[in-house]
Amino acid sequence: FRRRELSVGEMVEGIVKGDVTILSQAVTLIESVNPDHQAKAQEVINKCLPYSGKSVRIGISGVPGAGKSTSIDEFGVHLLKEKGGRLAVLAIDPSSERTKGSILGDKTRMEKLAIHPDSFIRPSPSAGSLGGVARKTRETIILCEAAGFDKIFVETVGVGQSETACHSMVDFFLLIQVAGTGDELQGIKRGIMEIADGIVINKCDGDNVDRCQMAATNFRNALHFFPMPESGWTPKVLCYSGFYGTGVKEVWDMIYEYFDFVKANGYFDYRRNEQSKYWMYETINEQLRLNFYHNPQIREQLQLAEQSVLLGQKTSFVAAQDLLEIYYRDNVITK
């Protein structure tokens, strides 16, 4: 038999009651490409908005193999034990578009959290551009908060643009590094170091301890060359082992020290307001972009325009202008 579809009201009621099955259904609507589902999702999100916001949102990033899933499992269990509440683990993985299905946030990678009664794990939405994927994760945060999840982890792979997207929706951005790869200083990619509120060096266990401590010193020195962040908080560098759980308490003491600091100086609320603004503009940009590329006339002309640029018949600028002209004309007539 087919389950009856819940109305917007029923969904909101279920979410606010903390019903995880209904929460999952609503997230599926957010992720759907069906315009009716999307419209319904937007209504649900809007109605959940007043119940959202009362959480701490933490971004966790690191290159593949850095130990994100091992650490998140350990961090999550630690945090729930120490602070109580409920934890949602979400992810942004735009590469999942290519690989059809994200591995980030996969339940099987987080064995302890997967069976924890107070956790909710949801893999990255897999369809669309980075902007689209990130927006869906952000909307999922709102629903999770409305459902009573007061701790949110957003996992992302430390290989590019997705950190910036992740940073734009979290209160604290944690960068997981590993030592001993010989390229830790090369790993100090400018853009990423600048958005990290904390840098943690994982796998500080066994005969790796000295190397980790050396790497930590290098990172601390490197941080001196960056300007003071807007928050007024100087990022800290700590070593830990996600596998053995050592140093995990110190990592979380540091993160909560940060929250105390930015809640006291007003930066916590300031950052959230800036993020809300950012997401309004992001949504406009994304919608305009989609609208442009889905326009039938543009779809028809795009290849030709590309060819004429490649053949040197038009400059990139003129080709773009010509396409935009077609788009404007079409939109003046149809809208």
The binding site for ligand GDP (CB under 6 A) comprises 62, 64-70, 202-203, 205, 241-243
Minimum distance from residue 131 beta carbon to ligand GDP (Å):
24
Measured from the CB atom, the residue of 62 and 235 that comes closer to ligand GDP is 62
Measured from the CB atom, the residue of 55 and 69 that comes closer to ligand GDP is 69
Measured from the CB atom, the residue of 99 and 273 that comes closer to ligand GDP is 99
What SS3 state is found at 175?
A: strand
Q: Please, which residues have CB within 8 angstroms of residue 77's CB and are 6 or more apart in sequence?
A: 112, 113, 116
| Token duo for residue 292 | 């442009």
Minimum distance from residue 226 beta carbon to ligand GDP (Å):
24
Minimum distance from residue 108 beta carbon to ligand GDP (Å):
11
| Token duo for residue 288 | 């305009």
Strand partners, 92: 156
Minimum distance from residue 165 beta carbon to ligand GDP (Å):
18
Measured from the CB atom, the residue of 136 and 203 that comes closer to ligand GDP is 203
Contact predicate 201/216, CB 8 Å: yes
Measured from the CB atom, the residue of 65 and 101 that comes closer to ligand GDP is 65
Minimum distance from residue 294 beta carbon to ligand GDP (Å):
35
Closest among 83, 158, 82, 149 to 122, alpha carbons compared:
149
Measured from the CB atom, the residue of 21 and 108 that comes closer to ligand GDP is 108
171 — phi, psi (to 5°)?
Answer: -90, -25
Minimum distance from residue 266 beta carbon to ligand GDP (Å):
34
CA distance 193 to 179: 16
Measured from the CB atom, the residue of 63 and 298 that comes closer to ligand GDP is 63
Query: Does an H or E element contain 284, and which?
Result: helix 267-294
Measured from the CB atom, the residue of 40 and 68 that comes closer to ligand GDP is 68
| Token duo for residue 176 | 């997981």
Minimum distance from residue 187 beta carbon to ligand GDP (Å):
14
DSSP string covering 77-130: HHHHHHH-S-EEEEEE-TTHHHHTS--TT-GGG-HHHHT-TTEEE-PPP-SS-H
CA distance 76 to 36: 35
Contact predicate 60/174, CB 8 Å: yes
Minimum distance from residue 243 beta carbon to ligand GDP (Å):
3
**CA atoms within a 13 Å half-sphere pointing along the CA-CB vector of 203:** 16
